[in-house]
Structure 1
Amino acid sequence: MPFKLFSFLPILLIAHLTFCQVEEMPPPDYIKTINFKGNTPETQLPILKLGEYVVLEFDALNGDEDDYYYKIEHFNSDWTPSVLMKSEYMDGFDNQRIRNYENSFNTYQIYSHYMLTIPNAQTRRLKVSGNYMLSVFNSDDTLVFSRKFMIYENTTNVGVRVKRSRDIQFIEEKQRVEIVIDSKTMQFNNPKQAVKAVIVQNNNLNTAISNIKPQFTIGNQLIYKYDTETSFWGGNEYLFFENKDVRAANTGVQSIDLKDLYHNYLYTNFERASRPYTYNPDINGNYVILNIDAENPSIESDYVWMHFSLLPVASLKNKNIHVYGNFNNYVIDESTKMVFNESLNVYTNSMLLKQGFYNYKYIVVDNDKSIDEGAISGNFYQTENNYKVIVYYRDLGARYDKIIGIGEGSSINISN
């Protein structure tokens, strides 16, 4: 009996690992500017229609011209591995070398710029919709980084409206999302179990609300008019800077300096939570690589040390403050942490970023790793936020979760 129990334990462990939710692997320090995008100039959460292409770009700053390989895996709606064989979701092969790369040109920081387009000659087609993970490995088959993306079928109409909170306590601070799902080509079987909706604010999967069930149905329409279940903190407009001309002070840049690389010192920011809301157009946390003097910004844009600074207030004392945005896929680590400089009486951070236009904000990270986006920036219902709704469907007897529709809405015209 002890032998049988001992031999059964690895099976239980494997089963547990098999059904764990997958997380993205952040890159090492020498991998920078991972652009994962579809048909838009700025980096966003890649959600593509079945048959469209997606482009992955990144820079390796070690100057070694290393070989990198990619693999693609399919996942269920909750990011557990699906049971599909690779041949069922892919026409062609993965585990191929990324062949398209160029070295930087006329830059102080030497780097190699890699670009992968899917589909390509080796990976000819992704055949089914759903959640995917693209993982990049080095020549030793060690995982370097991974990124999530989604493919959808346009078989349903997804209406998205953004409203103020019904809760008087949060009416000035929160936004709620109402959804209507309708299809003229398919019949929803058992929608309470088969249909799942995910709401993503500003392309940030870390704060997404998932596994939302339809509240009620009218004919073949699925209606979602929740309050708390689909509510988000409004946040505030992102701060931004632009350094497409690295030799001159641009928007948000107070001064520049050239040492081994260019250094850009941003204007000192201040706490906005206790101040009135002010509309300030942004690109909802995203960024765009730009160089005013370059024909090809991907290889001619230089890397610059960006120096952030934030005025202290009593409420921030002994708090963990970080710079936050899509420039690093909303990752929180030591490189984004603000450090208090006693001689200048400000919080500071220095970060190596590629030339362009960037959105960012300051957040507080609690000891339990929870994020408070409003502690410094504030939460206002008037804030312009982008919301994407991803609708998953698994019919009776189906073996994977389809994405049957995508909806998008903005809070710019928010109503009661």
Structure 2
Amino acid sequence: MPHSSFLASVLLLATACVPLGTPITDPNAARGGQQRPPEYYADKTLRYEDYTYSPDVRSVQCYVATGQNTEIFQPPVVPLSQQQPIVLEFDLLGSGSERLTAKLVHCDADWKPSVLTDMQFLNEINEFLITDYRTGVNVKVPYYHYRMQVPRVKISGNYLLVVQGAGNTPVLTRRLLVYQSGVEIAIRQGIPVAGQERYTMQQVDFSIGYGGTNLVNPSQEVKVMLRQNFRWDNAKTNLRPTFVRDAERRLDYQYFNFENAFPASSEFRYFDMRSLRVAGAGIAELDPTAAPRAVRLSPEATRNGQAYSQFDDINGQRVFESREYGNGATNGDYANVTFQLRAAQPAPGPVYVFGALTDWQLKDEFKLTYNAEQQQYTGTALLKQGYYNYYYVVGKTAGAPDDVYFEGSHQETENQYDLLVYYRPPGTRADLLIGYQMLDVNSRRP
């Protein structure tokens, strides 16, 4: 799905960002002209996850600055050398800027704050004023675009980047990973040991060699996490080795009950909103005179039960760009985007638009409403000008949402996987990220 040659053209001047919104008619609206959904933004308690605490904060992107066109697709994961920094970009809706600061919180493997003091992982005071911000240019929805480079840290592990506003109230959090190469990881695509599942699931087998590192009781103390498309909501955790080869100093992870298998789903749906004058792919109707501008996507249908369809996507990500003026960071405007999904009957749960545009979360702004007479789900969200990937998913009471109900699942789908390996040395007080490796399944890059 991700960084094919197709992406280079999708990318052109991309910077800044992530998602959200619903049309506004309420007098108690947010500064950017959007209604404040009560549930999602009501609780300002700090969460140790990717989260947005204010409806004014939009279009968040956190990536590694590689200097390449595809850098915005690089997850915030860097080696301990940190030669290429992690960058955070986001918009703050409204006609006035705010004083925002950021800090880092070192976390354990389970994303709980560690007991380390700031000076044990930083060389400077743990408060960073965000001074790089610019106003949106010639836009109907006013905003300020903020950008910051994350400071270097001294040890590997999990870090939570917290952006704070007045009164140290959190407005935005993002998970960051800094790893060291303490082990050798061999990772490959496996074959699910079953019947029908081999056509719908993707299994990832891997082994961890620790010949160059003295690990104490590695079979119990080494913690691993396996992710699909850099998502946290459906990550595989608490995986224990199936074979411990002490003589070879290697741990093998090859399961038989789908512990390390994921539904492959399908290539992501997409629409092209890089122009707000001419309707792009996936757009049925565009009103450039509205304020905010109005975009209606083409009606869509379920893909479950259909044959696999191959095309290049960007694994659920999005690119912010203005084809008219370039530089989507400050020249991209916002638009009310209406999604339309045909369904003969209601799904067995609430239906949402889902992807990086929602932080891989079920957000109120992206919940769709079913019209029985029209046999269609619809919903409107405020999104920044750009190119988007997304799924339609069904929310569940526990666990990751069901993206197979509307999208289907095919083992031919291109997906990215990455493996995180943690270890806490005896006598220390924090989990170190001692290994990291990526795998592109069904890659179509030359």
Deviates more, 1:202-211 or 1:182-191: 182-191
- Does residue 79 of structure 2 align to residue 49 of structure 1? yes
Which structure has more RCO (C-alpha within 8 Å, separation ≥ 6)? 2
Corresponding residue of 2:278? 248
The structure that has the greater radius of gyration is 1
* 1:214–1:322 CA distance, 2 compared to 1 (3 A): same
- Does residue 106 of structure 2 align to residue 74 of structure 1? yes
- Does residue 381 of structure 2 align to residue 351 of structure 1? yes
- Does residue 227 of structure 2 align to residue 196 of structure 1? no
Deviates more, 1:226-235 or 1:23-32: 23-32
* Amino acid paired to 1:291: S
2-structure distance, mates of 1:23, 1:167 = 34
Corresponding residue of 1:221? 250
What does residue range 105-124 of structure 1 map to in structure 2 within 5 Å?
Answer: 105-119=137-151
1:301-343 Cα distance to aligned partner (Å, 9 max, x none):
11122111001133x3463110000012112122111112456
**SS of match in other structure, 2:120:** helix
Q: CA deviation at 1:408?
A: 0.9
* Amino acid paired to 2:228: Q
Structure 1 residue runs without a partner (length 5+): 1-19, 120-124
**SS of match in other structure, 1:198:** strand
- Does residue 344 of structure 2 align to residue 313 of structure 1? yes
Q: CA deviation at 1:190?
A: 1.2
Correspondence for 1:25 among 48, 51, 73:
51
2-structure distance, mates of 1:373, 1:295 = 34
1-structure distance, mates of 2:192, 2:102 = 43
* Amino acid paired to 1:91: N
* Amino acid paired to 1:411: V
Aligned pairs, number: 389
Q: CA deviation at 1:54?
A: 0.6
Q: CA deviation at 1:171?
A: 2.2
1-structure distance, mates of 2:315, 2:201 = 16
- 8 A Cα contact 1:188 1:220, kept in partner: no
- 8 A Cα contact 2:62 2:72, kept in partner: no
2-structure distance, mates of 1:241, 1:130 = 36
Corresponding residue of 1:10? none
**SS of match in other structure, 1:211:** coil
**SS of match in other structure, 1:372:** coil
1-structure distance, mates of 2:320, 2:187 = 30
**SS of match in other structure, 2:204:** strand
- Does residue 319 of structure 2 align to residue 288 of structure 1? yes
Correspondence for 1:126 among 153, 163, 172:
153
- 8 A Cα contact 2:48 2:173, kept in partner: no
Q: CA deviation at 1:185?
A: 3.0
- Does residue 360 of structure 2 align to residue 330 of structure 1? yes
Q: CA deviation at 1:182?
A: 2.5
Q: CA deviation at 1:49?
A: 1.2
Q: CA deviation at 1:295?
A: 4.3
1-structure distance, mates of 2:134, 2:47 = 35
What does residue range 142-161 of structure 1 map to in structure 2 within 5 Å?
Answer: 142-161=169-188
* Amino acid paired to 1:276: A
Correspondence for 1:261 among 270, 286, 292:
292
- Does residue 333 of structure 2 align to residue 302 of structure 1? yes
2-structure distance, mates of 1:288, 1:44 = 12
Q: CA deviation at 1:382?
A: 1.7
- 8 A Cα contact 1:45 1:204, kept in partner: no
Corresponding residue of 2:310? 279
Q: CA deviation at 1:221?
A: 2.4
* Amino acid paired to 2:125: F
1:350-371 Cα distance to aligned partner (Å, 9 max, x none):
1111111111010001345751
Runs of 4+ in 1 over 6 A off after TM superposition: none
Deviates more, 1:365-374 or 1:303-312: 365-374
1-structure distance, mates of 2:322, 2:307 = 35
1-structure distance, mates of 2:285, 2:364 = 25
Q: CA deviation at 1:73?
A: 0.4
- 8 A Cα contact 2:234 2:399, kept in partner: no
- 8 A Cα contact 1:51 1:126, kept in partner: no
2-structure distance, mates of 1:172, 1:250 = 33
Q: CA deviation at 1:147?
A: 1.2
1-structure distance, mates of 2:294, 2:249 = 58
Aligned-residue sequence identity (percent) comes to 28
Q: CA deviation at 1:35?
A: 0.7
- Does residue 190 of structure 2 align to residue 163 of structure 1? yes
- 8 A Cα contact 1:195 1:214, kept in partner: no
**SS of match in other structure, 2:237:** strand
* Amino acid paired to 2:183: T
Q: CA deviation at 1:376?
A: 0.8
* Amino acid paired to 1:408: M
Corresponding residue of 1:180? 207
* 1:370–1:223 CA distance, 2 compared to 1 (3 A): closer
* Amino acid paired to 2:109: S
